[in-house]
Amino acid sequence: MATATTTYREALREALREALSADDRVFLMGEDVGKYGGSFGVSLGLVEEFGPERVRDTPLSESAFVGTGIGAAIAGMRPVVEVMTVNFSLLALDQILNNAATLRHMSGGQLSVPVVIRMTTGAGRQLAAQHSHSLEGWYAHIPGIRVLAPATLEDARGMLAPALADPDPVVIFEHGSLYNVSGELAPVEGPLDVASAAVRRSGDDVTLLTYGGSLPKVLSAADLLAGEGISAEVVDLRSLRPLDDATIMASVARTHRAVVVDEGWRTGSLAAEVSARITEQAFYELDAPVGRVCSAEVPIPYARHLEEAALPQAEGVAAAAREAVGHRG
C-alpha cells in the first residue's frame, strides 16, 4: 500500500479531524486550541474547518475546563480536552480523580463519563521543571480511567478513535519530544488495539520495556547492543493502565532478563509497578534481577547538559542491559 510522510503532530491532527468529521458530538476544548492552533500546533487549522463551537478556546483554568468536559461527557457529548502540559493537569486532578474516575462506581453504573483528556508530557526540550515532568505513573495509579501513551505515528493517529468509543475516561499522554518526529504513515487498515503492548524489535537476550518518548532512545540502545552481539527485544507498553501483562511476561519468558525504562522518577514509578509484576508473575523465568532506568530524582533542570544528565539516555539503557546479560546469579 502507498504510504505518506507525516509528523507525529500531523498524525494527531488527522485523528482529531477524522473524529470531528465522523461524530457531531465530538468537540475539542482547551487553552489556545482555536485560532492559535494549540500550544504545540496539533489543532492548527481545525477551528477554521469546524468552527468555534467544535474547537473551543477556554480560560486558563484547568479545573474549570476539565470539569466542563466531564459534565459534557455525562450529558452525552464526546469531548476531547487538551491540557497544555502534565504539570498543569495537577490543577485538574480533583476533577479527574474525584469525578471522572469515580462517577460510574459511585452511581452504581448509571453514569458514564466518555471524556478523552490529551496532555503533553516529558522533558528534553529545555522547558524547565514546571513544564517537563513525566507523571504518567500517577495517572496509571487511578482505577476508573484508561491511560494511553502513543509512541509511534500509527498510534498517534489511531488511539483517539477507540478512546472516544470508550464509555469511561481515557487519558492520552503525548511526549513533547515526539511532535516533530516524521516518517511514513501507512493507511488505516482497521481499529487500533489499544489494549495490547507492541513488540517493536525482536530479541533473545534481554527485554527492554518502555513507552512514549523513551521508545526512540530504547531502540537506539538496542542498536548499540546489537553491535556488541547482544540481542535486545523492545516492548512498547502503549497502554499504561491497564498494562498488558501477557505480552510483558511472554517476552520475559523468551529472554529471561528485563530492563524497564521510564522517564518518571524511580521512587514509586510505573517502572516499579512493571518490575513488581514481572517478579510476581515470571520470577522463575528470570536469570537476573529486573533493572530500571529512570530520571534522576530532581526537578527537571533547564540547562541542556543537566537536563540530558537527568533523563534516561540510550547509553544508560544499554549499560543496564549489559549488566543484566552479564549477571551470573
46 CB-side CA count, 13 A = 31
Residue 11 neighbours by CB distance under 10 Å? 26
The string of DSSP letters for 133-185 reads: ---HHHHHT-TT-EEE---SHHHHHHSHHHHHH-SS-EEEEEEGGGTT-EEEE
Q: Is 105 a catalytic residue?
A: no
The CA distance from 266 to 52, in Å, is 42
Q: Quick one: cell of 139?
A: 495517572
State the Cα–Cα distance between residues 214 and 176, nearest whole angstrom: 11
Closest to 101 (Cα-Cα) out of 48, 147, 55: 147
Q: Which helix (H) or strand (E) holds 81?
A: strand 78-85
- Please say if 131 is a catalytic residue: yes
Q: Considering 10, 14, 31, 62, which one is annotated as catalytic? A: 62
Q: Which of 131, 133, 175, 256 is catalytic?
A: 131
Catalytic residue positions? 62, 131
